[in-house]
Chain A
Amino acid sequence: MASEWSPGSSSRRTFIKQTTGLAGLTLAPMNQAEPSAPGPTLVQGATELSLRINGRVYSLRAEPRTTLLDALREYLHLTGTKKGCDHGQCGACTVHVDGERITSCLTLAIMQQGKQITTIEGLAKGDQLHPMQEAFLKHDGFQCGYCTPGQIMSAVACIREGHATSDDQCREWMSGNICRCGAYPNILAAIREVASSQ
Chain B
Amino acid sequence: MNPTNNPTFADQQSSSDVVGKPLVRVDGRAKVMGAAVYSAEHNQLPDLAHAVIKTSDVAKGRITGFDDSAAKRIPGVLGIFTHLNLPPLAQTPSTSEGKKKIALAMQMSFTPLTSDQIFYAGQPVAIVVADTLEHAQHAAALLKVSVVAETPVVSYRDTQAKLFTPTEGAAAQVPAKRGDAQAAFSNAPVQLTLTCQHATNHHNPMEPGATIAHWEAADRVTVYDTTQAIASTHKALYVMLGLPPDNVRVVTKFLGGGFGSKLTMWPHTVLTAQVAKAVGRPVKLVLTRPQMFTSMGHREDQQQTLRLGATKEGKLLALLHEKISTTSPWDNYAEMNSKIVHMLYACPNFDASVKLARANVMTSTYMRGPGEAPGSFAIECAMDDLAYQVGLDPIAIRLLNHADKDPGTGKPWSSKSLKQCYERGAELFGWGKRNPKNGATRQGNKLVGWGMASGSYPVHDAQGNARVRLYADGHALVQAAATDLGTGTYTIITQVAADSLGIAPENVYFELGDSALPTTAMSGGSRAAGTVSSSVFLAAQDVWQKLIKLAIADQHSPVYKAKPADVEAVKGRLQLKADSTKGEAFITLMQRIGLDDLEGVATGHYGSSYESPEATLNTPQAKKDDAASHSMHSFSAHFCEVEVDTELGTVHVTRWVSVVAAGRILNSMTARSQVIGGSIFGIGAALMEGTVRDPHLARYTNASLADYHVCVHADIPEMTVAFIDEEDRYINAMGVKGLGEVSIVGTSAAVSNAIFHAIGHRLTSLPITPDKVLKALRKTQ
Residues of A within 8 A of B (CB): 7-8, 12-13, 62-63, 65-66, 70, 73-74, 77-87, 89-90, 92, 119-121, 123-124, 129, 133, 136-138, 140, 142-149, 152, 167-168, 170-172, 174-188
With A65-B134, A144-B256: A81-B712 Cβ-Cβ less than 8 Å: no
Tell me whether A84 and B206 are in contact (CB under 8 A).
yes
Tell me whether A77 and B43 are in contact (CB under 8 A).
yes
- State in angstroms the CA–CA spacing of A183 and B679 once bound together: 11
Which of B484-492, B592-600, B605-613 forms contacts with chain A? B484-492
With A84-B206, A137-B28: A143-B673 Cβ-Cβ less than 8 Å: yes
5 pairs, CB–CB < 8 Å, chain A vs chain B? A74-B132, A143-B670, A174-B713, A177-B713, A184-B711
Which residues from chain B contact A8 at a C-beta distance below 8 Å?
A: 70, 141-142
Of B43, B50, B713, the residue contacting A79 (CB under 8 A) is B43
Tell me whether A138 and B24 are in contact (CB under 8 A).
yes
- Beyond A138-B24, A144-B257, A188-B713, 14 additional contacts (C-beta under 8 Å) are A63-B134, A79-B37, A81-B34, A85-B704, A137-B29, A145-B28, A145-B32, A146-B207, A171-B713, A175-B712, A178-B206, A178-B705, A182-B680, A187-B713
Tell me whether B205 and A180 are in contact (CB under 8 A).
yes
B27 within 8 A of A: yes
Tell me whether A144 and B37 are in contact (CB under 8 A).
no
- State in angstroms the CA–CA spacing of A85 and B291 once bound together: 10
With A80-B35, A120-B33: A143-B138 Cβ-Cβ less than 8 Å: no
Which residues from chain B contact A168 at a C-beta distance below 8 Å?
A: 714
Closest 7 A-B residue pairs measured CB to CB? Answer: A80-B34, A146-B256, A144-B486, A143-B486, A182-B680, A145-B31, A120-B34
- State in angstroms the CA–CA spacing of A92 and B256 once bound together: 11
- State in angstroms the CA–CA spacing of A178 and B259 once bound together: 15
Residues of B within 8 A of A (CB): 22, 24-25, 27-38, 40-41, 43-44, 50, 70, 132-134, 138, 141-142, 203-208, 254-257, 259, 286, 288-289, 485-488, 669-670, 672-674, 676-681, 704-706, 710-714, 716-719
- State in angstroms the CA–CA spacing of A133 and B25 once bound together: 13
Which residues from chain A contact B28 at a C-beta distance below 8 Å?
A: 136-137, 140, 142, 145
With A175-B712, A184-B713: A7-B141 Cβ-Cβ less than 8 Å: yes
Which residues from chain B contact A140 at a C-beta distance below 8 Å?
A: 22, 24-25, 28, 669-670, 672-673
Interface of A: prevailing SS: loop
Which residues from chain B contact A90 at a C-beta distance below 8 Å?
A: 206, 289, 705
Tell me whether B33 and A179 are in contact (CB under 8 A).
no
Which A-chain residue is minimally distant from B43 (CB atoms)?
A: A77
Of B37, B256, B706, B716, the residue contacting A171 (CB under 8 A) is B716
Which residues from chain B contact A147 at a C-beta distance below 8 Å?
A: 206, 256
Which residues from chain B contact A12 at a C-beta distance below 8 Å?
A: 138
Tell me whether A172 and B25 are in contact (CB under 8 A).
no
A159 to chain B, nearest CB (A): 14
Tell me whether A133 and B33 are in contact (CB under 8 A).
yes
Which residues from chain A contact B32 at a C-beta distance below 8 Å?
A: 120, 129, 133, 136-137, 142, 145, 148-149, 152
Which residues from chain A contact B34 at a C-beta distance below 8 Å?
A: 78-81, 119-121, 149
B30 to chain A, nearest CB (A): 8
B424 to chain A, nearest CB (A): 19
In this complex, the member of A65, A124, A146 whose beta carbon has the largest number of chain B beta carbons within 10 angstroms is A146
Tell me whether B705 and A185 are in contact (CB under 8 A).
no
- State in angstroms the CA–CA spacing of A145 and B25 once bound together: 11
- State in angstroms the CA–CA spacing of A182 and B43 once bound together: 29
- State in angstroms the CA–CA spacing of A184 and B678 once bound together: 12
Tell me whether A179 and B206 are in contact (CB under 8 A).
yes
- State in angstroms the CA–CA spacing of A84 and B205 once bound together: 9
- State in angstroms the CA–CA spacing of A65 and B674 once bound together: 39
- State in angstroms the CA–CA spacing of A66 and B50 once bound together: 14
- State in angstroms the CA–CA spacing of A89 and B713 once bound together: 14
- State in angstroms the CA–CA spacing of A181 and B684 once bound together: 12
Which B-chain residue is minimally distant from A46 (CB atoms)?
A: B132
Which residues from chain B contact A143 at a C-beta distance below 8 Å?
A: 257, 485-488, 670, 673-674, 677
Of B254, B680, B711, the residue contacting A145 (CB under 8 A) is B254
Tell me whether A87 and B35 are in contact (CB under 8 A).
no
Tell me whether A86 and B716 are in contact (CB under 8 A).
no
Tell me whether A145 and B256 are in contact (CB under 8 A).
yes
- State in angstroms the CA–CA spacing of A17 and B739 once bound together: 53
Tell me whether A83 and B486 are in contact (CB under 8 A).
no
Which residues from chain B contact A170 at a C-beta distance below 8 Å?
A: 713
Of A79, A133, A167, A182, the residue contacting B678 (CB under 8 A) is A182
- State in angstroms the CA–CA spacing of A146 and B673 once bound together: 15
Tell me whether B713 and A145 are in contact (CB under 8 A).
no
Which residues from chain A contact B717 at a C-beta distance below 8 Å?
A: 185
Tell me whether B676 and A185 are in contact (CB under 8 A).
yes
With A89-B289, A144-B207: A183-B677 Cβ-Cβ less than 8 Å: yes
- State in angstroms the CA–CA spacing of A145 and B257 once bound together: 8
Which residues from chain B contact A144 at a C-beta distance below 8 Å?
A: 205-207, 254-257, 485-486
Of A123, A152, A181, the residue contacting B677 (CB under 8 A) is A181
- State in angstroms the CA–CA spacing of A23 and B43 once bound together: 30
Which A-chain residue is minimally distant from B289 (CB atoms)?
A: A85
Tell me whether A66 and B134 are in contact (CB under 8 A).
yes
With A90-B705, A142-B486, A143-B487: A178-B712 Cβ-Cβ less than 8 Å: yes
A135 to chain B, nearest CB (A): 9
Which B-chain residue is minimally distant from A173 (CB atoms)?
A: B713
In this complex, the member of B32, B207, B679, B705 whose beta carbon has the largest number of chain A beta carbons within 10 angstroms is B32
Of B43, B206, B254, the residue contacting A92 (CB under 8 A) is B206
Tell me whether B24 and A137 are in contact (CB under 8 A).
yes
- State in angstroms the CA–CA spacing of A182 and B206 once bound together: 11
With A83-B208, A143-B487: A74-B133 Cβ-Cβ less than 8 Å: yes
In this complex, the member of A78, A170, A183 whose beta carbon has the largest number of chain B beta carbons within 10 angstroms is A183
- State in angstroms the CA–CA spacing of A126 and B566 once bound together: 51
Which residues from chain B contact A186 at a C-beta distance below 8 Å?
A: 673, 676
- State in angstroms the CA–CA spacing of A164 and B207 once bound together: 27
A106 to chain B, nearest CB (A): 12
- State in angstroms the CA–CA spacing of A177 and B206 once bound together: 10
A132 to chain B, nearest CB (A): 8
Which residues from chain A contact B25 at a C-beta distance below 8 Å?
A: 137, 140
- State in angstroms the CA–CA spacing of A79 and B286 once bound together: 14
B658 to chain A, nearest CB (A): 12
